[in-house]
Amino acid sequence: VTRELTVGLDIGGTKTEALIVDRHDQALGHAVQPTITGGTDAMLDAIVETIHAALANSGEDAHHITSVGVGIPGRVLPETGEVQHAVNLGLKSYPLGRRLTERMNAPVFVENDVRVAAIGAYHFVREHEDISSMAYLGVGTGINAGLILDGKVYRGANGMAGEIGHMVVDENGVLCNCGQRGCLETVAGGPGITRQAINAGITDSRTTTHELIEMAQSGDERARLVMKRVMQHLARAVQVLILSYDVEKVMLGGGVTNAGDSFRDLLLAELGEMKQHSDLVRLMIPDHKIEVLPPGFNAGAHGAIRMAQEKAVALKNGAG
Amino acid sequence: VTRELTVGLDIGGTKTEALIVDRHDQALGHAVQPTITGGTDAMLDAIVETIHAALANSGEDAHHITSVGVGIPGRVLPETGEVQHAVNLGLKSYPLGRRLTERMNAPVFVENDVRVAAIGAYHFVREHEDISSMAYLGVGTGINAGLILDGKVYRGANGMAGEIGHMVVDENGVLCNCGQRGCLETVAGGPGITRQAINAGITDSRTTTHELIEMAQSGDERARLVMKRVMQHLARAVQVLILSYDVEKVMLGGGVTNAGDSFRDLLLAELGEMKQHSDLVRLMIPDHKIEVLPPGFNAGAHGAIRMAQEKAVALKNGAG
């Protein structure tokens, strides 16, 4: 029996992670390297180099790779693997799928990073709970939702489903780079949280959410107030997801959620306040519907692997 | 060839409409009668009587009815036709599907009224445009969305998908009967609009949206301001639907939209203001994505017929 390796790539604005598994989903190797932006050739070289670093880490050979899954920010045309409008990566339009296929001699499947993380989060939950619908709320620099409905990724007509970071939550709020004022991500995304922390006079930290939560827990009232506003808006976003999609689970992940359980506790406290007044909220958002990804788990890389495995099978069976 | 009749029933809080079509979707007869609440036996008798009035109107015979579709407010278990929590009708739990099947000697298919109206609106649009996804935003006493995704009704895990009327849009707003403050439907639902009109000093009309739009167009500044706030929030709701689901069309219907084109003009004006500032809104919400149902078209009755026809076929083929 030949080795059948699948590579999962999670390409972020600052770093790229490659994970390699065998046909039994056994993790064999892994590498994290900086994402190179500013030129597509250099970026592609760096991505290939990260895959080879993970191969070296696993002791495996590139010609055993049978499929590659990639999660990347921006809009992706999954049929061709073309990446569009990946602003953080400086990509306006780039045929990543085609280029990487040429370099790796294996089928490459590309999808938006949040959607890929949703796949990873979904299978993470399915290890302990039999669900068939989930919203993954990615809270990082931006805020986006990835949806699994009836057991399948839901993309929408233009691959734009789940763009709820641009829901306006504060009409008089700060300008968002989309042109609107007070979008959810200006309040509850990473840079938005940092801005509010600085405005509150907190300059003695890098003000990640994790640090703000620790500061709040150690009695810093300014940190507590900043995090309360953030959590209020994230609680409302969770509610909008459940009202809209009626999913069985909302899973949160992304850099802003790195405090894990402490993050979940604060979020549930806000949802708890909403429930005090409303039967509907109590009915629709029981605590067990809300989970936060363990900080160490790379849902993107795992989701990319799962996507690649499923699409490779579909391709083999002539369905893809 | 025997006649094959389908009945579509739209059961509302005040009136029930029955529509009868043949196998070629030719409308044969029609009746509108008051909905009787306060007792399930009396309600069922009145529903059957409305069907017979439509039969009389068509000159057809009850034993040619091959299926009945029903749209009714509340939560519905479509497998059994049980209706739950239909507050306006005084129903906590009632096996309408079973009871009506006994009375009509034909299979009866029951679904939530907004979801049934969404089916009707979807097929209305498909007469002139080839879409496979749509959100129907029903704006009446309450506000709910019915979703068609990938050509099929999307219900959610508990049949609660699309309950966006309880999205909080004004934290300091009036109390909603769900227990929260400032839900969308307290601002943009029928009774909410009436309340705001009265607060604005408009007591010289029954203050339907239709009349308020006419008053605003004839220069009444109070009416203009009330409608502006309503339309701002409906425009935001349309945006949330498109950000969430990335559907090809948002169709609005329900009592509040009875002014038809005038209603659409005001809504598009608000969306136009949002677009002035935002590329994203321009990209995601082109005017042609937004339609308002013609006031004379009963999407509920037509959707109920379509649902019944499709489910009857599925039943015959053993898939249902």
For A149, which of B154, B180, B181 is closest by C-beta distance?
A: B154
Condensed to tens digits (0 to 9), the pLDDT of residues A77-135 reads: 999 999 998 877 888 899 999 999 999 999 999 999 999 999 999 999 999 999 999 99
Sign of CA dihedral A140, A143, A144, A148: positive
Residue ranges with strand state E in A227-297: 250-253, 290-292
Whole-angstrom distance, CA of residue B278 vs CA of residue B287: 15
Indicate yes or no: pTM above 0.90. Answer: yes
- Interface mutation target, options A176, A278, A281, chain B, most CBs of B under 10 Å: A278
A239 contacts B163? CB cut-off 8 A = no
Q: Which of residues 203-232 of B touch A (CB under 8 A)?
A: none
Reading the block at residue A312, the tokens are 């490779």
pLDDT in tens, B53-105: 999 999 999 999 999 999 999 999 998 999 998 877 888 899 999 999 999 99
Question: What is the C-alpha to C-alpha distance for residues A202 and A209, in angstroms, rounded to an integer?
Answer: 12
- Touching check for B180 and chain A: CB below 8 Å? yes
Q: How far is CA A138 from CA A258, B44, B276, in A?
A: 11, 48, 28
Please list the residues that pair with B34 across neighbouring strands.
B15
Task: Tell me the nearest-neighbour CA distance from B67 into chain A, angstroms.
Answer: 28
Amino acid at A210: H
Pairing of strands B75-77, B82-86: antiparallel
DSSP letter string over B284-300? H--GGGEEE--TT--HH
* Contacts of A3 by beta carbon, 8 Å cutoff, 6+ apart: A22, A23, A60, A61, A64
Interface contact B167-A240, CB threshold 8 A: yes
Beta-carbon separation of B245 and A156 below 8 A: yes
C-alpha–C-alpha distance, residues A147 and A154, integer Å: 5
Ramachandran area for residue A189 (φ above 0: left; ψ -120 to 50: alpha; else beta): beta
* Chain B contact set for A149 (CB, 8 A): 149, 154
* Strands lying side by side in the sheet with B27-34: B27-34, B15-21, B5-11, B65-72, B108-112
Token pair, residue A76, equals 């992706």
Distance from C-alpha of A160 to C-alpha of B246, rounded to nearest angstrom: 6
Return the closest-CA partner of residue A259 out of A220, A216, A302, A219.
A216
Q: Which residue has the tokens 């639902």?
A: B189
User: How far from A26 is each of A60, A123, A300, B196, CA to CA, in Å?
Assistant: 13, 15, 17, 62
Instruction: Find chain A residues with C-beta within 8 A of B281's C-beta.
Output: 178-180
Q: B167 to chain A: which residues are within 8 Å by CB?
A: 239-240, 243
- In angstroms, the separation between the Cα of residue A284 and the nearest Cα of chain B is 9
Distance from the B275 Cα atom to the nearest Cα atom in chain A, whole angstroms: 9
Give, for all 320 residues of chain A, the pLDDT tens digit. 568 999 999 999 889 999 999 999 999 999 999 999 989 999 999 999 999 999 999 999 999 999 999 999 999 999 999 999 887 788 889 999 999 999 999 999 999 999 999 999 999 999 999 999 999 999 999 999 999 999 999 999 999 999 999 999 999 999 998 999 999 999 999 999 999 999 999 977 777 899 999 999 999 999 999 999 999 999 999 999 999 999 999 999 999 999 999 999 999 999 999 999 999 999 999 999 999 999 989 999 999 999 999 999 888 887 64
> Do B154 and A156 count as a contact with CB atoms less than 8 A apart?
no
Q: Each residue of B95-154: pLDDT tens digit?
A: 999 999 999 999 999 999 999 999 999 999 999 999 999 999 999 999 999 999 999 999
DSSP 8-state symbol, B36: P
Question: Least CA distance to A243: which residue of chain B?
Answer: B163
- Structure confidence at residue A1 (pLDDT): 57
Express each pLDDT in B256-310 by its tens digit.
999 999 999 999 999 999 999 999 999 999 999 999 999 989 999 999 999 999 9
Give the integer Cα–Cα distance in Å for B295 and B254: 9
Residue B180 with chain A: CB contacts under 8 Å: 274, 277-278, 280-281
> B277, A180: Cβ pair inside 8 Å?
yes
Q: Cβ separation of A180 and B245 shorter than 8 Å? A: no
Inter-residue contact A94 to A74 (CB < 8 Å): no
Please list every residue in chain B whose beta carbon sits closer than 8 Å to the beta carbon of residue A133. 156-157
